[in-house]
Structure 1
């Protein structure tokens, strides 16, 4: 499963969103869930974010959603957003160094 999630936060909530995202990465670095690849980017407008996720777990479970920091990130996401999250499934044609196995 490969997905991209894009959304735009309210200008006054950018720092909050970045704090939540950093907390997720801190927890990911400790937990090191197998089969998960995850990246977050802030776009040049300063308010829009893109999350790329690849989950190669055979049972389909998403280890990201089990993390307390990710649950905290999601808890108020809609309230932080100016434009709500849009999730798109991706079909990989090719990549270099992004989703290497």
Structure 2
């Protein structure tokens, strides 16, 4: 397998939000998605999943290069400003695509 320098990078963030921060966290995320929807950056995708019945989240960012437009967005800056304080646990990994089929 060869590495394509123009290929998209993918990063995964898994975290658990503290109970007293969940509502604020969801509002901040909604603001980021609203800003991304307005700007529609090319070659970038970001998805956030919540595990049902929990405070556990998974974020998947794909783009070239990462972190893409996120750091420049005011809504993301607000979201990221106290993320460490809102979370009980956090784990960030760069991942390598092994295979994929279709889209949802």
State TM-score, norm by structure 2: 0.83
Structure 2 unaligned regions, length at least 5:
1-8
Q: Who wins on radius of gyration, i.e. which is larger? A: 2
What's the secondary structure of 1:65's corresponding residue?
helix
State the match for 1:41 in structure 2: 49
Provide the rounded CA distance (Å) in 2 between the counterparts of 1:25 and 1:63: 12
What is the deviation of 1:45? 4.2
State the match for 1:14 in structure 2: 22
Matched length:
95
State the match for 1:90 in structure 2: 95
Structure 1 unaligned regions, length at least 5:
none
Task: Detail structure 1 runs of 4+ shifted over 6 Å in the superposition.
Answer: none
Provide the rounded CA distance (Å) in 2 between the counterparts of 1:70 and 1:23: 8
- Alpha-carbon deviations, 1:28-82, whole Å to 9, x = none? 000111110110011134211110000124xx66211211111100001111111
